[in-house]
């Protein structure tokens, strides 16, 4: 792996980063493989360890590698690109990326709807709702945390069903004939709290995408309100933009 000439106006750390990224995307290292040590990379590229460290820090921020204290640096799957898309479940979304989806149910019960949830679902405060909090995984790796709320009068008994390996939307459709027709979703950048970080296997204070989504039936009735925290190194939002009239 050779760098460009040092007299070009491109920082050495950036050249190292691009060279490593090219090797990762070219298949030299697969997800889970360990990269050479900083000393080894420094010797290969004929640059300082500080330069290598900065290149690795950029790749970690981009989500292509993870650095584990005392163990080394490992390649991981690049962040999933998500932009305008069809309304689908997490399971369907992962399936579209060729990944197997699973969930670990953290909380599943029937509760009186809190005021904010009731307002979103357009039901009186205190109306019984399903609260389903799950750790969402792709290929066994944590992607995010999602908490769904569904009015129980729409899906009686849904709070007693199993969701470890089932799609909520598929159960709503097949068991209750409830089909999600439209949704409005908003995103914002947040830092992962300590409790969530332990579940997501990331560092507290790591960047994440927080999302809120309200899903409706074809007749406009709210079906589901969901709050999500998705790992910032596993997800990124991509939008294709164009100027009007062009």
pLDDT 10s digits, 152-189: 999 999 999 988 877 898 899 999 999 999 888 888 88
What is the average pLDDT score of the chain?
Answer: 83
User: Is residue 125 over pLDDT 50?
Assistant: yes
The pTM score is 0.64
Fold agreement (12-75, 80-237): no
What per-residue confidence (pLDDT) applies to 2?
55
Mean pLDDT of 76-99: 57
User: Is residue 196 over pLDDT 80?
Assistant: yes
What per-residue confidence (pLDDT) applies to 177?
95
What per-residue confidence (pLDDT) applies to 166?
79
Complete DSSP assignment for the chain: -----TTSSS-HHHHHHHHHHHHHHTTSS-TTPBPPPHHHHHHHHT--HHHHHHHHHHHHHHTSEEEETTTEEEE-PPPEEE-S-----HHHHHHHTT--EEEEEEEEEEEEPPHHHHHHHTS-TT-EEEEEEEEEEETTEEEEEEEEEEETTTSTTGGGS--SSS-HHHHHHHHH-----EEEEEEEEEE--HHHHHHHTS-TT-EEEEEEEEEE-TTS-EEEEEEEEEETTTEEE------TT-
Question: Looking at per-residue confidence, does 108 or 166 come out higher?
Answer: 108
Q: How confident is the model at residue 85 (pLDDT cuts 50, 70, 90)?
A: very low
Mean pLDDT of 40-51: 91
Q: What is the pLDDT of residues 3-31, one digit of tens each?
A: 555 554 568 888 888 889 888 878 888 88
Q: How confident is the model at residue 195 (pLDDT cuts 50, 70, 90)?
A: very high
What per-residue confidence (pLDDT) applies to 175?
94
- What is the architecture of the domain spanning 80-237? 3-Layer(aba) Sandwich (3.40)
User: Is residue 82 over pLDDT 60?
Assistant: no
What per-residue confidence (pLDDT) applies to 244?
64
Q: Which CATH fold would you assign to the domain 12-75? A: Arc Repressor Mutant, subunit A (1.10.10)
Mean pLDDT of 88-107: 68
What per-residue confidence (pLDDT) applies to 137?
86
Domain limits of the chain? 12-75, 80-237
Q: What percentage of the chain reaches a pLDDT higher than 70? A: 81
């Amino acid at each position: 792996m050779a760098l460009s000439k040092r007299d070009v106006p491109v920082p050495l750390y950036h050249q190292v980063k691009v060279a490593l990224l090219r090797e990762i995307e070219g298949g030299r290292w697969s997800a889970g493989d360990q990269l050479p040590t900083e000393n080894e990379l420094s010797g290969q590229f004929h640059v300082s360890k500080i330069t290598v460290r900065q290149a690795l820090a950029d790749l970690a921020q981009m989500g292509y590698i993870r650095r584990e204290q005392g163990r080394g640096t490992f390649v991981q799957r690049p962040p999933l690109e998500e932009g305008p898309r069809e309304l689908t479940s997490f399971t369907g979304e992962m399936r579209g990326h060729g990944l197997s989806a699973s969930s670990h149910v953290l909380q599943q019960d029937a509760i009186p709807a809190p005021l904010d949830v009731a307002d979103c679902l357009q039901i009186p405060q205190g109306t019984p709702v399903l609260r389903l909090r799950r750790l969402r995984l792709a290929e066994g790796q944590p992607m995010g945390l999602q908490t769904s709320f569904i009015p129980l009068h729409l899906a009686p008994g849904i709070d007693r069903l199993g969701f470890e390996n089932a799609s909520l939307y598929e159960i709503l459709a097949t068991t209750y004939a409830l089909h999600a027709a439209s949704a409005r979703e908003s995103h914002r950048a947040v830092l992962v709290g300590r409790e969530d970080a332990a579940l997501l296997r990331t560092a507290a204070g790591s960047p994440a995408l927080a999302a809120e989504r309200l899903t409706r039936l074809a007749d406009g009735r709210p079906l589901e309100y969901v709050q999500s925290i998705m790992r910032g190194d596993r997800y990124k939002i991509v939008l294709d933009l164009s100027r009007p009239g062009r």
